[in-house]
Amino acid sequence: MENLLGCWFHQLLSFYISINVAILRNIFNPLIHFKWQPIFVPLLDSILSVYFRYCHLQPCTLDLDEQTTLHFWTPAHRKINKPNLVLVHGFGGNSKFQFLFQIGTLARSFNLYIPDLLFFGKSYTRNPDRTDAFQARCLGEGLRRLGVDRYSIYGISYGGYVAYRTAAMSSEAVDKVVILSSGIGMTEDQKEEHLRNIGRNAVDILLPRKPGDLRLLVTLSLCNCNFINWVPDYFLQEFITVMCNTIRKEKSELVEHLLAKKEDSSLPILDQETLLIWGDKDMVFPLACGRELHRHLGSKAKMEILENAGHAANLESSYSVNESIKAFLLNSSAKRGGCTLVERQRDPPRRMASIY
C-alpha cells in the first residue's frame, strides 16, 4: 500500500512540476524576442561575487603592460601555514561560475588565487597572441606581481592547457599539477573524428549563439542534465549574451588556435607530480584522452576516474574532485612513481560549502 501511495505521489508531483515548467516557459520564452538588458545573469554574477567575498577572497586587477589586464580573486588575508593553489577555469563562463562548488571547501586548506583568463571576466589584452602559452606567461607574470613565488596549479578543460604550459615554463615555481578533463596532446585526427561524431563545429559548441546550442553544451558536459530542458529560453539567451557574446571574436580565436594546433610531438613531460581527474562519461574530451596523457606523463602521474561523471566534474562531482585535490596536494609523503587508477562513486547529496 505504501509503495502504491509513494508511486502515486511521485507521479502527481512530476505532473505538477511539468505543468508549472510549461507555464513558466510559455511566460518567459516570448521575452527572448525583446531587446532588453540582461537582468538575471548579472544579478547571479553579483551574488557569486558576494559568496567569493564570504570565502575570504577579494578581487584584484593587474595591468601587466599597456596592452594586457588580468583580473584575479586573491586571499583577503594570506595564511603562511597554508599552501598556495591557483585555480584556472575553462570555457563556459568566468571563474565564479566554474568554481562555485569548490572554493568553500578548498579555501579551508589553501590560499586560493583564481584568475579570469584573457577575454573572460575582466581580463583583456590587445596583444594578437591567442596561444595557451601566452595565457600561461600572463598568468605567471600576474602571480609573480602578487608575490606568489611557489604554488600548485589546478586547471579545468581549456584551463588545463594553460595550467600544463604554466607548469612546463615555470617548473621552479609550480609544486604540483592537477588537470581535470583536458584534451592536452590530442592529435588532429582525434579532434576531427570527435567533432565528426558530435556533428557540430567546436566554436558553436563552446560559444553557443542560441538556447539550443547551450542546451547541447550542457548535455555534453553533464551526465544528469534533464534540468536544462526546464530552463526557459530567455534565461539561456541571457547567459549567452553576457558570457559568450562579450568579446566573442577573441574567444573564438582561442578555440580556433586549439583546433589548428598540430600534435605537439615535443609535448613536455612535466617535472612535477601530476594528478589527472576524469569523468568516465566525458563526452567533450573522452576518457581515452586522459589515459593517453597519463601514459605520456609516466611515473610521476596518477589518474583518478569518477564514475558516472561527465566533463564538468567540477560542478556535478565537486565533492569527489575536492577530496582528490586535497589528498594529492596536502600529502607530502605520497610515493613518487607508479601509476594509480582509482574508481570513485558519484558525490553524496551536496550542500553549499562553508569555510567555517
Give the per-residue pLDDT at 105.
97
CA distance 95 to 115: 7
The answer to whether the CB of 166 falls within 8 A of the CB of 154 is no
- Least Cα distance to 45 among 93, 79, 111 occurs for 93
| Domain with residues 41-189+258-344, CATH architecture | 3-Layer(aba) Sandwich (3.40)
Give the per-residue pLDDT at 16.
47
CA distances from 307 to 3, 282, 303, 310, 329 (A): 30, 10, 13, 9, 22
User: Is pLDDT of 317 > 70?
Assistant: yes
Residue 280, exposed/middle/buried by CB under 10 A (0-12, 13-18, 19+)?
A: middle
CA distance 314 to 98: 7
| pLDDT single digits (tens) 232-259 | 898 899 999 998 888 999 999 999 998 8
* Residues whose CB is less than 8 angstroms from the CB of residue 179 and which lie 6 or more positions away in sequence, other chains included: 154, 155, 160, 163, 164, 274, 275, 276, 277, 293
Cell triple for 226: 534533464
| pLDDT single digits (tens) 159-183 | 999 999 999 999 999 999 999 999 9
* Residues whose CB is less than 8 angstroms from the CB of residue 273 and which lie 6 or more positions away in sequence, other chains included: 176, 177, 300, 301, 302, 328, 334, 336
User: Is pLDDT of 356 > 60?
Assistant: no
3-state secondary structure of 316: helix
- Segment 140-155 shows an average pLDDT of 98
pLDDT band at 352, cuts 50/70/90? very low
Give the per-residue pLDDT at 351.
42
- Segment 177-199 shows an average pLDDT of 83
CA distance 97 to 285: 20
- What is the value of pTM for the model shown? 0.85
CA distance 52 to 36: 28
CA distance 45 to 134: 27
H helix intervals, the chain: 2-28, 40-54, 95-98, 103-106, 132-145, 158-169, 188-198, 202-206, 211-221, 233-239, 248-260, 287-297, 313-316, 318-330
User: Is pLDDT of 142 > 60?
Assistant: yes
pLDDT band at 118, cuts 50/70/90? very high
- Least Cα distance to 274 among 347, 185, 144 occurs for 185
User: Is pLDDT of 143 > 50?
Assistant: yes
DSSP string, 245-263: STTHHHHHHHHHHHHHPPP
| pLDDT single digits (tens) 27-79 | 555 555 555 678 889 999 999 999 999 999 999 999 999 999 999 999 999 99
The answer to whether the CB of 123 falls within 8 A of the CB of 73 is no
Question: Is the model more confident about 322 or about 350?
Answer: 322
Dihedral of CA atoms 292, 297, 301, 303 in degrees, nearest 10, equals -10
